[in-house]
Amino acid sequence: MQHWTIDGPEQLTFGPVRSLDVRIVSGRLAVLASDGPPVLEVTEIDGAPLLVTYDEETGELAVTYKDLTWDGMLGWLRKTTRRSVATLTVPRSCHVNAGVVSASAVVAGFENLTQVKSAAGDIVLDGVSGEVGATTVSGHVESRAMAGDLTFTSVSGDLTVAQGVPRRLRANSVSGRITADLELRPTGHVTLTSVSGDILVRLPEDVQADVRLRSTTGRLVSTFEKLSNESRPGAKSLSGRLGGGMASLSATTVSGEVALLKGENQ
């Protein structure tokens, strides 16, 4: 096991990396898939040093602060004395666990297992496939060109999915807005849930999917004409089969608006 303490700008190169665990407080974090050797580059650091550990036998790499745990990240929102700007390049098959408190994070190009957690920092997932999980309190998550499974959980943070082709997309927010521009494969399943946040979904005009939109008091809107409208006290729904069905989309709110719009065919 190798150990480093980083208290200034530095660059480290590692042997094979199969799993990465990285956690920072404020600043910027980029975790990028690469075919080259795994590299950590720290360009700015203020406050306590970062601790790096690498086990060449197991391929496990960790970059974090000594006292920053996954469970204790929320308590660091009021502690802004630690700032770092770091970029990690590791193989695209690497298992990634990335956590930030208020820092912004970009995670790009991975195809295996990716987990990202944020208290207030915004997250960008770019071209990430495989099994992906994103959890935030108030940070926003933007997913670009996703393929695979994405599970999103938030209190007030928004989720935006652009050019998504999901196998599974599960999003659950209390007050955050969910916006998804999707192309659904025959096996695609999408489940979106919010309490008071609005949900907006765009699907190609020739989509083949079973659709169900529901809200307790929120407005339901669809530019697809074939959906049936049901309304009774405390429950509204728009549902039906578009094309030949096969894929599925469910969007549910308590008081938020749900809108399903026609997008361009792919």
**Do 73 and 151 reside in the same domain of the chain?**
no
Final residue of a domain: which of 72, 101, 130? 101
**Do 79 and 194 reside in the same domain of the chain?**
no
**Do 149 and 223 reside in the same domain of the chain?**
yes
Tell me how crowded residue 92 is: count the other CB atoms within 10 A of its CB.
18
Distance set, CA 111 to CA 10, 93, 217, 235 (Å): 28, 6, 39, 40
Distance set, CA 57 to CA 19, 35, 37, 158, 185 (Å): 12, 20, 16, 40, 40
111 domain-assigned: no
Triad 30, 125, 33: Cα angle to 5° = 55
155 domain-assigned: yes
**Do 3 and 93 reside in the same domain of the chain?**
yes
- Evaluate whether 208 touches 229 at the Cβ level (below 8 Å): no
If pLDDT is split at 50, 70 and 90, which confidence band does 126 have? Answer: very high
Number of domains within the chain = 2
**Do 91 and 167 reside in the same domain of the chain?**
no
pLDDT in tens, 241-257: 998 888 999 999 999 99
185 domain-assigned: yes
Q: Provide the pLDDT for residue 205.
A: 92
**Do 183 and 241 reside in the same domain of the chain?**
yes
**Do 171 and 92 reside in the same domain of the chain?**
no
Q: Calculate mean pLDDT across residues 187-212.
A: 95
**Percent of the chain's residues with pLDDT above 70:** 94
Residue partners of 57: CB distance under 8 A and separation at least 6: none
Integer distance in angstroms from the first to the last C-alpha of the chain? 49
**Do 155 and 259 reside in the same domain of the chain?**
yes
**Do 174 and 236 reside in the same domain of the chain?**
yes
**Do 171 and 255 reside in the same domain of the chain?**
yes
Q: What is the CA radius of gyration of the chain?
A: 20
Final residue of a domain: which of 101, 132, 158? 101
**Do 60 and 166 reside in the same domain of the chain?**
no
In order, the DSSP letters of 62-98 are EEE-TT--STTGGGGGG----EEEEEEEE-TT-EEEE
113 domain-assigned: no
Of 94, 26, 105, the residue nearest 62 (C-alpha): 94
**Do 151 and 259 reside in the same domain of the chain?**
yes
- Evaluate whether 82 touches 41 at the Cβ level (below 8 Å): no
pLDDT in tens, 100-125: 999 999 999 999 999 999 999 999 99
Q: Provide the pLDDT for residue 74.
A: 58
pLDDT in tens, 6-58: 999 999 999 999 999 999 999 999 999 999 999 999 999 998 899 999 999 99
117 domain-assigned: no
Which domain does 246 fall in, by range? 140-266
